[in-house]
Amino acid sequence: MREYELVIIGGGPAGLAAAVAAHEAGLRDILILERDNELGGILNQCIHNGFGLHTFKEELTGPEYAGRFIEQVKKLDIPYKLNTMVLDLAADKTVTAMNREDGLFQLHPKAVILAMGCRERPRGALSIPGCRPAGIYTAGTAQRLVNMEGYMPGRKVVILGSGDIGLIMARRMTLEGAQVQVVAELMPYSGGLKRNIVQCLDDYGIPLKLSHTVVDIEGKKRVEAVTIAQVDGNNRPIPGTEERYECDTLLLSCGLIPENELSRSAGVELNPITNGPTVNESLETSIPGVFAAGNVLHVHDLVDYVSEEAGAAGRQAAGYIAAGCREEEHKALPIKCANGVRYTVPVAIRPGAAGDTVTLRFRVGNVYKNKKVAVYAGDACVFSRKRPVLAPGEMETVILKTSLLTDHPEADGITVTLEEA
């Protein structure tokens, strides 16, 4: 097997954007490994529109958005292997993979970009009591069946979880002829976009029940009914609030988990909050030369930001290889999260290694109104912006001028916090 300087694990939006950016940065020796039978990843099944407003200034569907990047990859002649499963990533960046044509093979690249994406939280992880019949699908599995294979997984549907995929699938199932009876959401707020609540649920008269969860699933062979109940402040069902819905399908849209089994096997340090690698400002993980971007790093809500982040990872990987895979020592400022900020990506900034700006992405842990996002270098406030509303479902972005950090050489760390506006 011929070797490649850069191996990108995953040919979804992150992997594609990383490949294109690495190529544009001058790197020519790139290989994308994709486990599915086509490039594009999850976008291939996201046939709804709303993608690409930031990147292409127009509203595209998922396959169209993926198509733009696939076209670039093909035009640039960046090699890729489909139906190829990476089985192992070692700490020395040895990639062990497998497919029909090449069999079991190993690659020894100079740099690796992790772009494996994420998966859905299944019923089992939610420990929903009840029977285990046919008719329980994650929203994404149903999405694949309907949008790519043309099969209806059910006729009468209850959805648990109001993440965007769940909302989108409520509309998709309705338009394909199913009856979506209710969407139950455990939290007192939806994790989905307002637009999706209005255009996927309200447009079709589908009720959204906040602070509700599924407490029973009936049906020996196929789902026959689902009972939901209201939950208290500790997410425990409140007796007496049960409502039973006769249905043949339960769709689950209860969160996404970055797929970091390979990162773990390589010994990449993971952030327990995001379940993704901890990275510095260059999107480099704890293993030099291993970069991460997209949903494997932290779950995004907009693919445009995935592409942007992955582009940066691609450029950084190209730079790392161009510099002979050597890195200078730079002082690193760890980032502390405070006051409702759940995590940040990156977790540390090396001002000496950063370009003119550093992009900080983060999420908050609750719905906050009229707050100020503030960034401190040591004790000095270097950034502050008013935010009328912050919600866990919306990723926040702060673009920080690196000079603001170098102006405070005494600082030993950075704090990202919410303050009263």
Partner 1 sequence: MVDIVIIGAGVSGCAIAREVSRYKADVLVLEREEDVCCGTSKANSAIVHAGYDAANGSLMAKLNVEGSRLMPALSKELDFPYENNGSLVVMVSEDDRPALNKLYENGVANGVEGLRIVERDELVRMEPNISDQAVAALYAPTGAIVCPFGLTFALAENAARNGVRFQFDTEVTGIGKTDGGWKLSTTRGDVEAKVVVNAAGVYADKLHNMVSEDAMTITPRRGDYFLLDHSAQGHVSHTIFQLPGKFGKGVLVAPTVHGNIIVGPTAIDIEDKEGVATTQAGLDEVRAKCGLAVKDVPLRQTITSFAGLRAHEARHEFFIGEVQPGFVDCAGIESPGLSSAPAIGVMVSGIVRDILKLEENPNFEAKRKGILDPKGLDAEAHAALIRENPAYGTVICRCETVTEGEIVDAIRRVPGARSVDGVKRRVRAGMGRCQGGFCSPRVMEILARELGVDQSAITKAGAGSELIVGVNKDAI
Partner 2 sequence: MEEKNLICINCPLGCPLTVTLENGEVKAVAGNTCPRGEAYARKELTNPTRIVTSTVKVRGGTLAMASVKTAGDIPKGKIFDCVKAIQDIELPAPVAIGQVVLADVCGTGVDIVATKNVPVKG
Chain residues in the site for partner 1 (CB under 8 A): 35, 83, 85, 87, 98-104, 119-120, 122-125, 127, 129-135, 138, 140-141, 144-146, 149-155, 175-178, 215-218, 220-222, 237, 248, 261, 264
**One residue of 278, 341, 393, 405 binding partner 2 per CB under 8 A:** 393
Q: Are strands 380-390 and 357-364 parallel, antiparallel or unpaired?
A: unpaired
* Beta bridge partners of residue 189, listed in sequence order: none
Counting residues that bind partner 2 (by CB under 8 A) gives 34
Report the nearest approach of partner 2 to the CB of residue 320 (Å).
34
Report the nearest approach of partner 2 to the CB of residue 331 (Å).
36
Distance CA 342, CA 137 (A): 29
Task: Choose the contact partner of 202 out of partner 1, partner 2, none; CB within 5 to 8 A by kind.
Answer: partner 2
Interface of this chain with partner 2, residues 55 to 84, rule: CB under 8 A: 59-64, 67
Report the nearest approach of partner 1 to the CB of residue 170 (Å).
16
Which secondary structure element, helix H or strand E, spans residue 63, and what is its range? helix 62-75
**One residue of 1, 53, 85, 148 binding partner 2 per CB under 8 A:** 148
Of 76 and 131, which has the nearer Cβ to partner 1? 131
Report the nearest approach of partner 1 to the CB of residue 383 (Å).
35
Is residue 195 close enough to count as binding partner 2 by CB under 8 A? Answer: yes
Question: Is 320 in a helix, a strand, or coil?
Answer: helix
**C-alpha atoms less than 13 angstroms from C-alpha of 189 in its C-beta half-sphere:** 13
358: amino acid identity, one letter: V
Report the nearest approach of partner 2 to the CB of residue 196 (Å).
8
**One residue of 14, 116, 167, 197 binding partner 2 per CB under 8 A:** 197
Q: Name the nearest CA neighbour of 367 among 345, 396, 347, 346.
A: 396
Is residue 384 close enough to count as binding partner 2 by CB under 8 A? Answer: no
Task: Choose the contact partner of 197 out of partner 2, partner 1, none; CB within 5 to 8 A by kind.
Answer: partner 2
Is residue 149 close enough to count as binding partner 2 by CB under 8 A? Answer: yes
Distance CA 44, CA 413 (A): 41
Beta carbons within 8 Å of 243's beta carbon, 6+ residues apart: 227, 228, 229
Which secondary structure element, helix H or strand E, spans residue 175, and what is its range? helix 164-175
To 10 degrees, the CA torsion angle through 63, 64, 70, 71?
150
Of 216 and 327, which has the nearer Cβ to partner 1? 216
Report the nearest approach of partner 1 to the CB of residue 83 (Å).
6
Helices (H), 178-326: 194-196, 261-266, 303-322
**One residue of 94, 96, 141, 199 binding partner 2 per CB under 8 A:** 199
**One residue of 54, 194, 220, 244 binding partner 2 per CB under 8 A:** 194
Distance CA 32, CA 92 (A): 19
Compute CA distances 317 → 201, 323, 337, 372, whole Å. Answer: 42, 10, 27, 34
Task: Choose the contact partner of 265 out of partner 1, partner 2, none; CB within 5 to 8 A by kind.
Answer: none
Report the nearest approach of partner 1 to the CB of residue 264 (Å).
8
Is residue 205 close enough to count as binding partner 2 by CB under 8 A? Answer: no
Report the nearest approach of partner 1 to the CB of residue 144 (Å).
6
Distance CA 80, CA 101 (A): 13
Q: Name the nearest CA neighbour of 290 among 320, 332, 251, 252.
A: 320
Beta carbons within 8 Å of 28's beta carbon, 6+ residues apart: none
Beta carbons within 8 Å of 144's beta carbon, 6+ residues apart: 45
Task: Choose the contact partner of 393 out of partner 1, partner 2, none; CB within 5 to 8 A by kind.
Answer: partner 2
Report the nearest approach of partner 1 to the CB of residue 263 (Å).
12
Interface of this chain with partner 2, residues 1 to 40, rule: CB under 8 A: 37-38
Backbone angles phi, psi at 266, to 5 degrees: -80, -15
Q: Name the nearest CA neighbour of 329 among 346, 355, 352.
A: 352
Residue-level length of the chain: 421
Is residue 147 close enough to count as binding partner 2 by CB under 8 A? Answer: yes
Is residue 388 close enough to count as binding partner 2 by CB under 8 A? Answer: yes
Q: Kindly list the residues in this chain that would bind partner 2 in the complex (CB under 8 A).
A: 37-38, 44, 47-49, 59-64, 67, 146-150, 175-176, 193-195, 197-199, 202-203, 388-391, 393-394
